[in-house]
Structure formats: structure tokens, C-alpha cells
A = this chain, B = another copy of it.
Amino acid sequence: MKLPLGYRYAATYAGIRKDQRDDLGLILSEPPASAAAMFTRNRVQAAPVRLARTHLRGSGGVARAILVNAGNANCATRTEDRVALACCRALARALKFPAEQVLPASTGVIGVELDHRLIVRALPRLIEGLSPDRFQAVSHAMLTTDRGPKVAFGEVPLRRGAIHIAGMTKGAGMIHPQMATTLAFVLTDAVLSPARLRRSLAAAVERSYHRLSVDGDTSTNDTVLLLANGASGVRPAAQECLVFDEVLAWVMEDLAEKIARDGEGARKLITIRVLGARDDSQAACIARAIANSPLVKTAIAGSDPNWGRILSAAGNSGVVLDPSRVDIYVQGMLVCRAGVAARFAEHELKHLLDARECAIRFVIRGRGQGHARFWSCDLTEQYIRINASYRT
């Protein structure tokens, strides 16, 4: 898949994390790009989140660079604001554009001072290393407990030419993916205004990152950035914008699914579909309750077709629900019909649940048209091992 035109990438080891893996990444757009962003709704927000928001406002939604570090969230420290600002300024000075066209993002431990000199000193070799084909290197540098990089690509063939989309993300969250910080950077070479881009991003996030075992327990650093630098020269016509939005959402769904699949300690991807709710938002609410239930997640980990936990979790979603109208399918097998146990081959279903992917379908009989798809993962002992000693 072709990368979007007009972007260059670099990554290096700046010494922020202990193990010697790249921990600093740079994405540079040659033409100034339209930019849209969505940030954590946590009341405790890291300095890079606050600064990126300020920069976007100041620049009127124009950005040239994304500067990302792993290993330290630059959050809840005495110097966090100064650190974020100093890094953006140093980069802007070196590249000769306004500091507010740099969007910073950080992920890692909270509450530990980040030495900005580590980053400032690494900038020259970062800039030196900029190349159009180091996309993968940045996608590696932003990782923390992830088992591997997560990227997705799309292409939008339009009448006047093709637009390319490329996304990278990190996050190995499990119960609360966002608390382990989710970052996502999505790049396109389409010609699109910042305002148009914001609408596209909001719609795509609704279908992807907001369907990822999210329950509002977002991290202090979550950041999703979308840049459109126009380097393809292709401006989607009004009626073509829907196609662009569809491919963008597809790329971001792909990224979100990859986060769930790589959940900390997870062995299984769980995909939950809810059908027949009053509207999509109620469907998402039910799906989220199932996705966040540790009892459902542990049952799936143990290949235990304990559908009663699915029904009970749904009953707690806050959505008005008549259990006698609910059918539940697990791995395509009907386990609950009209709110009570269906006759199913339990032994066979346990065997099917040993697969790496688990599909739950929750169907409300009636005339409701609301539906939602949601990604989650199983909850294993490995999750505990990872998180009981994250800092030490």
C-alpha cells in the first residue's frame, strides 16, 4: 500500500526509557497540513495534551510536525509544561516554522520528571534521519507495553486521482485501554480544510476508538491526530467526501481492532455486536457494558460459555432492556434464546472458544434498528503480571 505523499519520518533512542529501543519519533509534513485532533476527556491532562490543543487553536488547525515520545507521559510533574514547550520550540527553531505548528504527544509513566534535554539533544539526529520511508520506525518508537506496532493503510480512488491514508497507533490496554494511553496518528495527502477534517475525524473516532472497550476511564495522555497535507493535489468533491470518510473510518477501525488484539496479556480478540437496540448509541452502550465486564473477559479467557454474565452485564448498561426479547450468540452458536438458556452443545462451544477470536452477538428482538460493533479482549493472568509491576 502506498504511503501518503509529502510526509517524512524519523525515530531515535533519546534515552527516555531504560531499555535501548527508539523512544522518540517525528512525523513531518512538507506542506503545512490541515490538522484535526481529539484528546482525552480525563480531568487530569498531561502537558503535551494541553499544549497540542493550544497549538491547534493558535495555528487555526495547521500543523507541520508531530513529535512523540514513549517512556514518560510528561504528566503530573513540576516541569511538564516547560518540558513540552521547550521540545516544540527547539524543533520549530531547527525546522524554521512556528512552534505552534508542532503537535506534541507523550506516553509512559505518570509523575516522573522528564528531562527535556534528552529530547532537545536528540533532535539534530532525528531531523538528520528524516526519510519518506521510515513510517514503520516511528510506529515502533511510540510503543510501550505493546507486543508490536499497529499500522493500517487505506486508499481512496477518486475521479481526480487517488488519496492515501496511513495510520499508526499504540496502546496495549485491556480493561481500560485508554489508561495505558492510546495514541493514534493518521496521515493523508488529501486536500481538506481543517473544519472538514474535524468532522471526518469525529465520525471515524465514533466508529473506532469509541468502540474499543472504552468506558470514559481515559488516560491523561490519549491523543488522536489527523493530518491532511494536500500533497496528492486531490480535493474530494462534495459527494466524494463520504467515500473518504468511509475509508478513513475503516483505517481507524483497523487500528482500534489491533489495539484490542494486542491487549495487555490478552490471548483473544473479542468482537461484540449488538443489534436491534433503539438507536446506535444505546447499542454501543450495551456493547460497552459487555466489553468492560471483567467476568465476561475472564470467562472468555477460560473458554467458559458463561452467557449469563453477558446478559447480566448488558442488564447493567443503563439501557432499558427486556431480557425476554434477548438472543445471545457466542461463536455463532445460539446460547440464550428469549432471555433463557438455549439448548447448545456446550462441549463443542468450549472447543470453539479456544480460538484466538471470540464473537459475541447480542440481538434484541423487535423493530429497533440500532447496532454497534465493539472490540475487547480476554482478561488473563498475564495482565496482572504486567500491571502489578509496571514501574519497577
Contacts and interface: CB of A to CB of B under 8 A. Distances in A.
A220 B315 CA distance: 8
A176 interface: yes
Interface stretch (A127-135, A276-284, A301-309, A355-363): A301-309
Contacts of A175: 294-295
A173 to B, nearest CB: 9
B316 A216 contact: yes
A46 B308 CA distance: 11
Contacts of A111: 307-308, 311, 336, 340-341
A152 B277 CA distance: 44
Contacts of A113: 341
Main secondary structure of the interface of A (DSSP, over half): loop
A341 B112 CA distance: 7
B110 A73 contact: no
A312 B220 contact: yes
A31 interface: no
Interface in A292-336: 293-295, 298-299, 301-302, 304, 306-309, 311-321, 323, 336
Contacts of A391: 304, 306
Contacts of A301: 384, 388
Interface string A51-76: 00000000000000000000001011
A217 interface: yes
Nearest to A45: B315
Contacts of A180: 295
A164 to B, nearest CB: 36
A351 interface: no
A196 interface: no
A225 interface: no
Nearest to A302: B388
Interface string A367-392: 00000000000011101110111111
Interface in A1-60: 42-45
Contacts of A109: 306, 308
A77 interface: yes
A304 B390 contact: yes
Interface in A175-229: 175-176, 179-180, 216-220
Nearest to A335: B111
Given A110-B311, A316-B218, A336 B76 contact: yes
Nearest to A314: B44
Contact of A295 (B294, B340, B387): B387
12 contacts: A43-B323, A73-B308, A76-B308, A76-B323, A77-B340, A110-B309, A111-B307, A111-B336, A176-B293, A298-B387, A304-B389, A306-B391
